[in-house]
Amino acid sequence: MKLKHRNGRLIELQDSQEKSLSILYGTVIGRMILKPLTAPCISKIAGKLLSTKASCALIKPFIKSNNIDMTQFVSENYGSYNDFFSRRIRPEARPVDMDESHLISPADSKLTAIKIGDDTRFAIKNTWYTVASLLKNDKLAEKYKGGHLLIFRLCVDDYHRYCYVADGEKDENVFIQGVLHTVNPIANDFYPIYKENSREYTVLHTKSFGDITVMEVGALLVGKIVNHHGKASVKRGQEKGYFQFGGSTVVLLVEKDKIILDKDIEENSLANIETIVKFGEKVAVKK
């Protein structure tokens, strides 16, 4: 995996979460381990355990192993691991670019930008999609042909709250239930896995960038998406919601001829390199 900072510094690393998922889905032993985890009750139990007081025992080891600078965050007495995971950052640590002609990042993340063609396919959390299959809405998907798909990938050690990327009027949220199950065809003992993560999207009607579809994709098994608003008027930089435990992803769909990507993001994406961006930081300008 290759990442670049905005200053151009290149990092090559093996993301432990992605490595684990590759083992689970890409090997016979991994799929055998994963099979019992597909039961919905396992996900519910795991989520409840991470919301208990006892789960606080996981916080200090996690901070240490991921070298998290806690001085950036609001000091709190966490009631559970999930409380810690969705911790709040100090506003001065993430200044928001308020120029209306700038499209901003919704989250601390690793960004890949893709031009949307007729048959564009892309991977989110080890699952391949088209825009239509991601949205499960052919009419809405058609709106973004020729536009841009921006994938903001959050890792477990990232700040897991996200904001609105522009002023606008948002529609109601649409939730898509995830699918996770084994498929066992005749004479196949390897239990191949079919999955789609749970996700939620809304259309944000903006003056500067047209209609932007904003989607949150939850983490496997225990990930949970918490959005604050239904239909509402919103402001850039305003908190939209947060994820509970698990690496997670925010996706933006932008119409054709609405934005010009920052040069480093465009070049890195073409070279299959993710760009490290921060909550509230400029990633494109109005065309």
Q: List the catalytic residues.
A: 108, 248
Residue burial 88-104, b: 16+ Cβ < 10 Å; e: rest: eeeeeebebbeeeebbb
Judge contact between 170 and 232, C-beta under 8 A.
yes
Distance between CA atoms of 102 and 107, rounded to whole angstroms? 15
Distance between CA atoms of 264 and 272, rounded to whole angstroms? 12
Cα of first residue to Cα of last residue in the chain, in angstroms, is 31
| CB contact set of 281 (below 8 Å; sequence gap of 6+) | 6, 97, 104, 105
Q: Give the chain's radius of gyration (CA, Å).
A: 19
